[in-house]
Amino acid sequence: MKITYHGHSVVKIETNGKTILIDPFITGNSTTDLKLEEVKADAILLTHGHGDHVGDTVQLAKKNNALVVATFELATYLGWQGVNTYGMNIGGAHEFDFGKVKLTQAFHSSGYVTEDNQIIYLGMPTGILFTAEGKTIYHAGDTGLFSDMKLIGERNQIDVAFLPIGDSFTMGPEDAALAAEWLRAKTVVPIHYNTFPPIAQDPEKFVALLPDGVGRALKPGESIEL
């Protein structure tokens, strides 16, 4: 399994001959190394309905005939736009041909702001537990710190955890370091930082808060092989 970080909260997982994208925010993402016209995906997993996470999902899904997995409301909304979707909800899991997806809770919000100043509710925000080849990846999505991260860590042997550190809208570095302790992941990668001024952070300072060898501040395009 190969896992690649592509800036902001974009993560690519390559496993069993399939390519899975999480939160493919490419257009307008100042930190990504990806070029939209070159991106391929068999499946797209979404944590919530904000534009910097849904990103280019509709275009990518249609171009690649990719399945989009998201909460029921978000999946329904994207389905209305001609996208092939599978709706789920918090606590639910499903075994797909590319791996197992389970949605966890996250403490954030989720909605789309229209051009005429309306907000469309798009279901609860989530984290994602993805399991394939005997490995488990946890993408926390956008979230504040919550104590049930201890339960997630107790019930899952997490190989790599992607945790937001940007503050303002999510956990900051100190809270994310405590989350890492509770999750007990073998490797922890910071995400959701430096894309916009309000979430400016030094990822190496976050890594320094973790036990030696646990934190890895991946640059966009860098990968972890499991």
What pLDDT was estimated at residue 61? 98
> In this structure, are residues 145 and 123 in contact, taking their beta carbons and an 8 Å threshold?
no
Both tokens assigned to 12: 């690519």
Report the mean per-residue pLDDT for the chain.
Answer: 98
39 phi, psi to nearest 5 deg? -80, 130
What pLDDT was estimated at residue 149? 98
Beta bridge partners of 95: 100
Residue ranges of the chain with per-residue pLDDT less than 50: none
What pLDDT was estimated at residue 157? 98
What pLDDT was estimated at residue 178? 98
Crossing angle of helices 57-64 and 72-79, rounded to 10°: 60
Using the Cα atoms of residue 116, residue 122, residue 124 and residue 126 in order, give the sign of their dihedral: negative
What pLDDT was estimated at residue 51? 96
Q: Rounded CA gap, 173 and 155, in Å?
A: 24
Exposed / middle / buried, residue 105 (Cβ in 10 Å: 0-12, 13-18, 19+): middle
The answer to whether domain 2-212 has CATH 3.40.190.10 is no
What pLDDT was estimated at residue 12? 98
What pLDDT was estimated at residue 78? 98
What pLDDT was estimated at residue 54? 98
Q: Rounded CA gap, 55 and 178, in Å?
A: 29
What pLDDT was estimated at residue 20? 98
What pLDDT was estimated at residue 5? 98
What separation in angstroms does the CA of 132 have from each of 70, 125, 140?
Answer: 18, 23, 17
What separation in angstroms does the CA of 134 have from each of 1, 3, 16, 156, 185?
Answer: 10, 14, 12, 11, 15
> In this structure, are residues 144 and 175 in contact, taking their beta carbons and an 8 Å threshold?
yes
The enclosing H or E element of 63 equals: helix 57-64
